[in-house]
Structure 1
Amino acid sequence: MNQDYIKPDNWSIIEEGFEGGRVKSSESLFSIGNGAMGQRANFEENYSGETFQGSYIAGVYYPDKTKVGWWKNGYPEYFAKVLNAPNWIGIEVLVNGEIFDLHTCKNIEDFRRELNMKEGWYQRSFIATLPNDEKIRIVATRFLSMEIDELGAIDYSVELLTEAAEITLRPYLDSSITNTDANWEEKFWQTLKVKTEGDQAFITAKTLKTEFHACTFMQSKVLLNNKELNAQFEEEILQDKVTFSYSQKVEKGQTLSLQKFAGYVTDMNHERNDLVDAAKAVLAKGMDHGFEALLNMQKEAWARIWEMADISIDGDIKAQQGIRFNIFQLNQTYSGKDERLNIGPKGFTGEKYGGSTYWDTEAYCIPFYMATKDQQVARNLLTYRYNHLEKAIENAGKLGFKNGAALYPMVTMNGEESHNEWEITFEEIHRNGAIVFAIYNYVRFTGDFDYIPEKGLEVIIAVARFWQQRANFSTPKNKYVILGVTGPNEYENNVNNNWYTNYIAQWCLEYCVSMVEKVKDGHKEDFDRIAGLTSLTDAELLAMKEVADNMYFPFSEEYEVYLQQDNFLDKEIIPVSKLEKSQRPINQKWSWDRILRSCYIKQADVLQGFYFFEDNFSIEELEKHFKFYEPLTVHESSLSPCVHSIQAAKLDRMEQAYEFYLRTSRLDLDDYNNEVEEGCHITSMAGTWMSIVEGFGGMRIVNDQLSFTPRIPEQWNAYSFKVNFRNQIIKVEVTAGKTSFYLEGTDSLDILVNGKKETIGLNTPLAV
């Protein structure tokens, strides 16, 4: 564990005491969002210390030109940047002319910040002594409305603790922002117009290249001791900034407050010429409701989310805080309302990785959204990929694939590949399999087979075509092989016959053949349409089957395990436990060359396949593979601990399962990988949810029924969760002695518990 300043609490993230060295970490951890926009927990007032400024609008990006010393065919022309958007939170504070800045204050007392996850608001409070010896108490509360998702609100209050003084509050909008991660130190926004109307201000700006237009807006109320003032103000308009100045003589003990209503409207949702009018409409709603009513709406919105999504843990406050932090961030990042949007690996908490979509969505996030929301949310995530199918076919075409073969991008905003590391862009092709697995997983859980003839089969065929063309026949092996790949374990590049890649390729080919048959039999009209669109032939299906039936898998007779790839045993096999602590994390301490030659695994690779396709392997096989690979895994990917937690629970290695759960749930809170200041690991947070529901709860779909094999870590007294299974809501409560099931639905439900059929009645809970 690398940091422990976050106070344990069931429902809040709390920091006490001010330390400049952890400002950037806290900016990540206390981030807020509402699915349409989000921001790091930057200070509203001026701060001259180290900070990472970040405010983001969902779906708005910039194609930053790829910077490499060489170029190859098919290489992405740009890296999709998540864009730091114009800043609307700013409020400069002056006391008798002295600018307030926590970095230059003489003294800071009682500093506290809280992210209240139950109610969806963020607050800072402290007492500060300025260089001119004026002393003030600040309480600043902020949230992004879940109900009016283009609106945010701030209540910023300054109490004067010394003798009478003039306090000036200067709310502003600023579009002269840059990205921390810009390759070429260029600006990504062009300010088009700065204007004011009365006490409203607007900055219209557009992104360069992509030409997203956004209007950033604000309007404020000023209050003295909670009583609204008819405050006069001065305005200052610059090329990229607009500021209103409100000055007030304040007596000792009085509090001057500014309530600021602000946000973004974009041309993704409004006509470009109507953005200012759209902003005015949002401001009218904000001002009409007022801060308190908006905050109450926010609490109600979050209460509805938690009613379905909460996981409660009794007896382990750090575990409880961890899972709620993960669930909270997932709901802040993606609401499921807009099928054009997806779940970025950093969400709205940072800029690292760029892009809005990785294979993380299909592999880790869909189960969470599928079970805690309406199934339409998961369908929207699948539709997002369906809408990008033509681009995926283009991506494959650039690499020489033909006949409608599709390669989905490693990183994307609009379907084009925008990841610019060759060993991932060209080689980490296993991502294609996750796209198809997600369709299978969705149908298995929701029972909504109609998605396949409607949209899914076209994707399945295009991906299967890619695999059939990407494999080649090896005469010495008398098998099909897949050469020159990078598996999920990115600490090995350009390997041959990565087991996971070969396995998911084989599975995709078999699944394609079976789904074509099923649609042909039961959905003739759709089949004819798809056959016409894809020009699919029987000969092609036979070729797919031939590759699938004869796929090569490296295997060690000595260890009785599938090998991660050819020649894995040529490496020196030294368990992670033998590594000196000073050498960890190896991705920050070792050269890339040394990492590639080592046996160390960044994240679950073979075990990822055993997780996806566990029905195809015995518990004895899982045990052997877990014993072989887990000791070699450094878990330096956020996506790794959750898979290991689920499998350790299945193997009844409960202490290990619990340790992996804590690691995945508190990865950012405790900053295991020494990088939280860059942003939180949003997509892996869905894996944390899975490690409880699928790991400890043992939830699976078996023979089209929900199945549970509940276990409980000895550190817990009880835990509970809910899942929405085919529009019936099941609540599961687990203690050491029994598991209870409750049903909200229209009919009783048959489930499996520890392999035995049981029935949950509508008004009769089931206890096992």
Structure 2
Amino acid sequence: MNQDYIKPDNWSIIEEGFDAKRVKSSESLFSIGNGAMGQRANFEEQYSGATFQGSYIAGVYYPDKTRVGWWKNGYPEYFAKVLNAPNWIGINVIVNGESLDLFTCKKVENFKRELNMKEGWLSRQFVATLQNGITINVNTKRFLSLDLDEVGAIQYQITPINSDAEIVFKPYLDSGITNEDTNWDDKFWDTLNVSHENNQAFIEAKTMKTDFYTCTFMESQVFINDKSILIEPNIKADSNLATFSYSYQVKKGDIYTIHKFGGYTVDRNHNKSQLISAAKNVLKMATKKGFVELLNNQKKAWSDIWNMSDITIEGDVKAQQGIRFNIFQLNQTYLGKDSRLNIGPKGFTGEKYGGSTYWDTEAYCIPFYMATKDQQVARNLLEYRYNHLQKAIENAEKLGFKNGAALYPMVTMNGEECHNEWEITFEEIHRNGAIAFAIYNYYRFTGDYGYIPEKGLEVLIGIARFWQQRATFSTNKNQYVILGVTGPNEYENNVNNNWYTNYIAKWCINYAIENIKKVEAEYTSNYTRIMNKAKLSNSEIKEWKAVADNMYFPYSEKHKVFLQQDGFLDKELITVSDLDKSQRPINQKWSWDRILRSPYIKQADTLQGFYFFEDQFSNEELERHFDFYEPFTVHESSLSPCVHSIQAAKLGRMEQAYTFYLRTSRLDLDDYNKEVEEGLHITSMAGTWMSIVEGFGGMRIRNNTLEFEPKIPKQWDAYSFKVNFRNQIIKVNITKDKTHFELEGTKSLEISVNSKLVTITPNNLVTI
């Protein structure tokens, strides 16, 4: 049974009624971020029930020493942990000497929590009766500013309902925090200094090992009935805590309010000796604007984001809420402003997976950012990998590869591999292919070939070298094989000849060779520079070509399908529909041994290859492979349903496509995988966007032309989206019987709709 307490709403995530059992799930679902920092939706006031406290700063991490049962050569030394950062949101509340704590209150009524995605803020309201009999009405609102991205703002309001009361607001900073996700319970932070002046407090701290220097800061103002009042706070400071107390005798019915501004300055952006002065500077700007003006600016900034990235759906509120939640969280996680950053699979919502960069960015996220922002954002994501090329070469060297072969990491913060499960770290090498595919995909979409001679070709050469060395010549088969791998389907470890891995290896080599020839012909100076730097010879390229031209692919004559890997047909082929529902999800119910022997597929594997390279296969082949593999797929990876949704739509199976879409868009809202309390699945949210734009909208780029094959689920009356294609913005609106195209820009554009060429001109509605 999936959770269903989130109220359907077009623009907001809403929870009504307080339930302690839901707190950790809601802390994930209501998370907020602004690309530079983020936090789980923890309560500002103290809470003694089960909670997962988390505030995170982009790019700040800790190398937690690897913990494994048996050390093997080549293991990464550490697993990079996203760090729970010093807490600045805390505001404890004391009413007539008793702490407000929703876990111990006599009664909590009219509880409502709202994440307003249109305007970018989080609010709570409730009426609480404390053990001492005082009843209070509480309203809170907070947001992380998109304009001043080092600062967040909180408005916390209390009204005593049944009598006058002495109310104390105790805003605090706390660096005595721990990580939920840790291998050895190490101390991750070293607090250097706690200081305060006027209504401001600062905690300077640095991370152990990585030496990131941070300053966590706060400043508060208090009001009675919206009128500013000056209260001299009582101040307490110790080795890792700074607390200000603002006490006031509040009359029944009056509103006592605190505005708290807080956040982080970091030595990634400032000189480490100037962090307090940088904090004072941003506080000065924030308090000068004040809570209301900062909030208005927030609404404007989000309005600009939505203007380009919104997808509207008419007639299906749950589907609409799902896609907006996905788009909102993607923008909270990464805005493309800083090329040193990337998109962690949990974003700022939890600590699982180390919060680092996976192949998800290249395989799923780049299309979303290319189409909803300008192409520089996608280029930044590609440059992130170019900047890590030397580390990728070192990662390959640790495993015995040579001559500049590059193996990009499964998980990374700085380019080094830091994932410590051998079946993934050493074997899930298909990730290398996604890095190359992203370069191809970027050029296909933007038409910006310049990236390849400038930077991309060096990456393609390193990857081709890896594949050539990783393949083995089988005298038995008289072909090249790739042994001992894990494909995208992580429910199969240490297999031989995973079809997807072999296919993407062949493709990468051919794509590298094709671009070497093009750069040689058209970018002579770049060609000379790269050949000298890479020391690449024609004889080496011939060795690559021999591998690509003679790669082995397992195939079943009986089923007329490529086999996911050697031996797949040896399994007991019982479909998912014949699996007892009590056994799901199998990753929580079965031993790993049993999973590995089963035919069950965690996520699209062979079908992932058909998604990437669909132009190389016919519709009949796709249909055959879809019908063969889909019945064995349990979709226990967040990255799976979107690929199946796109392919079902391509095959005209709209009911199935819609079901998969709903699953990917509401994966976290409805908690399909029973794990949302650990954080959200950020990178798969980009797949949700793809399932509408590429699935239902049928958007492709072929022969330099933008193509659409629009379809609409029967549950919808209409839907619309925008894409930024080569600096021209096209709005597509699809109804039951028509598709409308509008072009923003100055010049006309030729597109293809249902295989017919159509010219659209600026500010003219074209209906088909």
Fold agreement, TM-score > 0.5: yes
Distance, in Å, in 2 between the alignment partners of 1:760 and 1:697 is 17
Partner residue, 1:753: 753
Taking the aligned partners of 1:540 and 1:757, their CA distance within structure 2 comes to 43
Inter-partner Cα distance in structure 2 for 1:234 and 1:587: 52
Could you say what secondary structure the match of 1:532 adopts? helix
Mapping of 1:215-364 within 5 angstroms?
A: 215-364=215-364
Alignment-derived partner of residue 412 in structure 2 = 412
The answer to whether 1:115 aligns with 2:93 is no
Distance 2:195 2:687 in 1: 46
Q: Which amino acid aligns with 1:430?
A: H
Correspondence for 1:131: 131
- Residue 39 of structure 2 corresponds to 39
1:604 matched residue in structure 2:
604
CA distance in 2, matches of 1:420, 1:403: 25
- Structure 2 residue 587 is matched with structure 1 residue 555: no
Q: Secondary structure of the residue that 1:354 maps to in structure 2?
A: helix
2:168 is paired with a residue of what secondary structure?
strand
Distance, in Å, in 1 between the alignment partners of 2:541 and 2:758 is: 41
| Cα deviation 1:127-186 (Å, max 9, x = unaligned) | 000011111111010000001000000000011112111100000000000001111122
* Conserved 8 A contact 2:393-2:404: yes
Answer yes or no: is the 8 Å Cα contact 1:576–1:600 preserved in 2. yes
**What one-letter code is carried by the residue in structure 1 that aligns with 2:301?**
A
Q: Does 1:159 align with 2:150?
A: no
Residues 174-214 of structure 1, C-alpha deviations (whole Å, 9 max, x = no match): 00000011111222001000000111000000000000000
For residue 436 of structure 1, what is the aligned residue in structure 2? 436
| Mapping of residues 3-42 of structure 1, within 5 Å | 3-42=3-42
Letter paired with 2:340: R
TM-superposed CA distance for 1:355, in Å, is 3.8
Residue 745 of structure 1, CA deviation = 1.1
Give the superposition deviation at 1:763. 2.8
> What is the SS of the residue equivalent to 2:657?
helix
Once the two structures are superposed, residues 604-659 of structure 1 have per-residue CA deviations (whole angstroms, 9 ceiling, x without a partner) of: 00000000000000000000000000000000000000000000000000000000
Secondary structure at 2:354 match in 1? coil
Report the 3-state secondary structure (helix = DSSP H, G, I; strand = E; otherwise coil) of the residue aligned with 2:326: helix
**AA partner of residue 727 (structure 1):** N
SS in 2 for 1:582: helix
Q: Indicate the SS of the match to 1:291.
A: helix
How far, CA to CA, are the matches of 1:147 and 1:559 in structure 2? 57
Q: Secondary structure at the match of 1:172?
A: strand
Post-superposition offset of 1:64: 0.4
**What is the CA–CA distance in structure 2 between the aligned matches of 1:717 and 1:181, rounded to whole Å?**
44
Find the aligned partners of 1:180 and 1:575 in 2 and give their Cα distance. Answer: 37
Aligned to 2:94: 94
- 1:236: Cα distance to partner? 0.1
2:445: which partner in 1? 445
Q: Give the SS at the match of 2:371.
A: helix
1:453-532 mapped onto 2 (5 Å cutoff): 453-532=453-532
Whether contact under 8 Å (1:445, 1:701) holds in the other structure is yes
Do the aligned partners of 2:346 and 2:355 also contact (CA within 8 Å) in 1? no
Is the aligned partner of 1:711 residue 2:697? no
Amino acid of the structure 1 residue aligned with 2:121: W
- Counterpart Cα distance in 2 of 1:640 and 1:77: 31
- Tell me, yes or no, if the aligned pair for 2:117 and 2:328 is still in contact at 8 Å: yes
**Superposed, which structure 2 residues align to 1:637-656 within 5 Å?**
637-656=637-656
1:71: Cα distance to partner? 1.4
Matches of 2:100 and 2:113 in 1, distance apart?
18
Asked if 2 retains the 8 angstrom alpha-carbon contact of 1:355 and 1:418, the reply is no
Distance 2:186 2:241 in 1: 18
SS at match of 1:353: helix
Aligned residue runs from structure 1 range 371-382, under 5 A: 371-382=371-382
Q: How do 1:56-205 residues align onto structure 2 when only pairs under 5 Å count?
A: 56-205=56-205
Deviations for 1:96-138, whole angstroms, at most 9, x for unmatched residues?
Answer: 1101100000000000000000000000000000011111111
Which amino acid in the other structure matches residue 376 of structure 1?
Q
Q: Distance in 1 between matches of 2:547 and 2:523?
A: 27
Structure 1 residue 666 corresponds to structure 2 residue 672: no
1:177–1:187: 8 Å Cα contact kept in structure 2?
no
**Secondary structure of the corresponding residue to residue 574 of structure 2:** coil
Matched length: 768
Name the SS for the 2:674 alignment partner.
Answer: coil
Instruction: Provide the secondary structure at the position in 1 that maps to 2:621.
Output: helix
Which residue does 2:50 correspond to in 1? 50
Q: State whether structure 2 residue 575 is matched by structure 1 residue 575.
A: yes
The alignment partner of 2:88 has SS state of coil
Paired residues of 2:347 and 2:355 also in contact (CA < 8 A): no
| TM-fit CA distance, 1:73 | 1.7
Q: Any gaps of 5 or more consecutive residues in structure 2? A: none
Q: How many Å separate the matches in 1 of 2:595 and 2:635?
A: 14
In structure 1, the residue matched to 2:741 is: 741
1:546 aligned onto 2:546:
yes
Q: Distance in 1 between matches of 2:131 and 2:531?
A: 75
Per-residue CA deviations over 1:311-360 (Å, capped at 9, x if unaligned) read 00000000000000000000000010000000000000000000420000
Letter in 2 for 1:425: T
C-alpha deviation, 1:70, in angstroms: 1.5
* Residues 575 and 631 in structure 1, CA contact (< 8 A), matched pair in contact too: yes
Query: Helix, strand or coil: the match of 1:604?
Result: coil
1:260: how far off?
A: 0.1
Look up the SS of the partner of 2:256 in the other structure. strand
- Is structure 2 residue 383 aligned with structure 1 residue 383? yes
Q: Which amino acid aligns with 1:451?
A: Y
Measured in 2, the distance between the counterparts of 1:759 and 1:677 equals: 49
Q: Tell me the distance in 2 between the aligned counterparts of 1:416 and 1:759.
A: 48
Q: 2:720 — aligned with what?
A: 720
**Residue-by-residue CA offset, 1:519-556 (whole Å, 9 max, x unaligned):** 00000000000001000100111111110000000000
CA–CA distance in 2 between the matches of 1:746 and 1:601? 48
Per the alignment, residue 731 of structure 1 pairs with 731
> RMSD over aligned Cα, in angstroms?
0.5
1:46 and 1:237 map into 2 onto residues whose CA distance is 18
CA distance in 2, matches of 1:547, 1:766: 49
Residues of 2 paired with 1:308 and 1:286: CA distance? Answer: 27
SS at match of 1:248: strand
Which letter does structure 1 place at the counterpart of 2:397?
A: G
> d(CA) in 2 for partners of 1:176 and 1:764?
59
Query: Does the residue aligned with 1:548 lie in a helix, a strand or coil?
Result: helix
Which residue of the partner structure matches residue 586 of structure 2?
Answer: 586
Note the C-alpha offset of 1:49.
Answer: 0.1
Read off the aligned partner of 1:180 and give its amino acid letter: E
| Deviation sequence 1:359-404 (CA, Å, 0-9, x none) | 0000000000000001000000000000000000000000000000
Q: Give the Cα separation in 1 of the matches to 2:225 and 2:761.
A: 56
3-state SS in 2 of match to 1:193:
strand
Measure, in 1, the Cα distance between the counterparts of 2:240 and 2:83: 17
Q: Which amino acid aligns with 1:66?
A: T
2:641–2:664 Cα contact (<8 Å) kept:
yes
- Residue 23 of structure 1 aligns with an amino acid whose one-letter code is V
Which sections of structure 1, spanning at least 5 residues, go unmatched?
none
Paired residues of 1:33 and 1:39 also in contact (CA < 8 A):
yes
